[in-house]
Amino acid sequence: MDLKDLQKHIRSLATLPQAEAPVISCYLNLEGDKVGYLQTLGARVRLLRKSLSGRTLWLFEEALEQIERYLNGSIPNSVKGLAIFARSGRQPFFLPLQFRVPLPNWVAVNTTPNIYHLVELKDTYDHYVVLIAAENKTRIVGINLGTVTEDVWRASSERRQRVCREWTKEHCQNHLRDRSHRLTNDVIRMLDRFVSAGGYGHVMLLGKRCMAMQIRRALPKHLAAKVVEVARAFEYGRTKDVVTATLASFIEQEERESMAVADKLLSEVNSNGLAVAGTHDSFEALARGQVDTLVLAQTYEAELGWTCASCGAWDVVRTEQNTCSQCGEKKIRQFNFREEMVRLAEQMESRVEVVNHSDALLRLGGVGCLLRFLVLEDYGAKAA
């Protein structure tokens, strides 16, 4: 699966209409043996059965059967993470997603799918290009979500078969320099087309350092700005070795970029600019459609909230209630603020940035938003 496919699945899950039946969101880590993750699933299912009753429990059992049938089928050994979303009833839904990177063991039941772990996966692994410059080969590889999904071009450099006896040493050296220059330009043109067609935002250079640096120096500005790292010498080997050699460095770069976003949020908050922070203000901005980027600390502990399907009112859950405090209707739905904010962000195609650790973000409550615009009441608040 590549990033575009994952984004489509996230969007479909974020916009899935609610129905009578609950949705099971099941994330499993398949890095160990099958017994381990099945035991984890079994323990969670036993607890959920105690919390559900009546028709809801019956619908849950129906959806669970679909998940169990899928797990008893053939799953490739290369799969390290599995996400399954299942709903039974009059509006059934079933979506299994396989990944070659791990996911946490996590199972929940709600009226909407829980998509946070998919969004975190997308933010952490993203997609990038690797250019491998070897002695006589140049290779361009596209890596999506920790898996090689594009490997479309290899070029063998022209090897000198013979040098004419009448050539001088200077003539020969000029010829070799010209040939190297032409090859470098050919590689850069192909890299440019590859990056543009795939929408890649990062490039890593591997291979002999002298060759990689030669390409690095020749890159035009728009490509040079995407270079993450010029890595150490790399043996032109198996496809999976490319991922092994680059993934850790790429994740480190992603975290640096996440920290930069957190720093920008703090700067905007301090300057009374286009930003809000904290659960209440962030949720309000998302509900209004103002958000450009939702910024979440990985350790953000979200409260439970409620919303009314009739009038749209919402608040933090403080005491058990069955009716809306605004309109009195009994169309109350409880939600987890983190999940609901991520769902709203994906619905409006806002960026979601998950930050592993930022003291500044934690001081702001673990969540904030960079805004696209201010609304009238924001102007009044800022003036005050």
Q: What is the mean pLDDT of residues 130-154?
A: 81
Pick from 99-103, 179-183, 296-300: least confident: 179-183
Residue 50 has pLDDT above 90, yes or no: yes
**SS3 state at 189:** helix
Q: Facing residues of 293 across strands?
A: 351, 370
Question: Using CA atoms, how far apart are residues 45 and 42, in angstroms rounded to an integer?
Answer: 5
Q: Which of 25, 224, 246, 209 is nearest to 128 (CA)?
A: 246
Q: Considering Cα of 122, then 340, then 109, then 37, what sign does the dihedral take?
A: positive
Q: Which residues contact 9 (CB under 8 A, 6 or more apart)?
A: 95, 97, 118
Fold of the domain built from segment(s) 126-236: Nucleotidyltransferase; domain 5 (3.30.420)
Instruction: Give the count of beta carbons closer than 10 Å to the beta carbon of residue 371.
Output: 19
CB 111 within 8 A of CB 59: no
Band (176; pLDDT cuts 50, 70, 90): very low
Q: Which of 106, 96, 33 is nearest to 68 (CA)?
A: 96
Residue 369 has pLDDT above 50, yes or no: yes
Q: What are the structural domain ranges in the chain?
A: 1-124, 126-236, 255-384
Residue 33 has pLDDT above 90, yes or no: no
Which two tokens mark 50?
Answer: 């105690």
The maximal CA–CA distance of the chain, rounded, in angstroms, is 98
Could you give the C-alpha distances from 117 to 120, 181, 213, 293, 361, in angstroms and in order? 5, 46, 37, 17, 20
Question: Using CA atoms, how far apart are residues 83 and 98, in angstroms rounded to an integer?
Answer: 7
Return the top range by mean pLDDT from 148-162, 213-227, 358-372.
358-372
Fold of the domain built from segment(s) 1-124: 3.30.960
Which two tokens mark 3?
Answer: 């990033």
Fold of the domain built from segment(s) 255-384: 60s Ribosomal Protein L30; Chain: A; (3.30.1330)
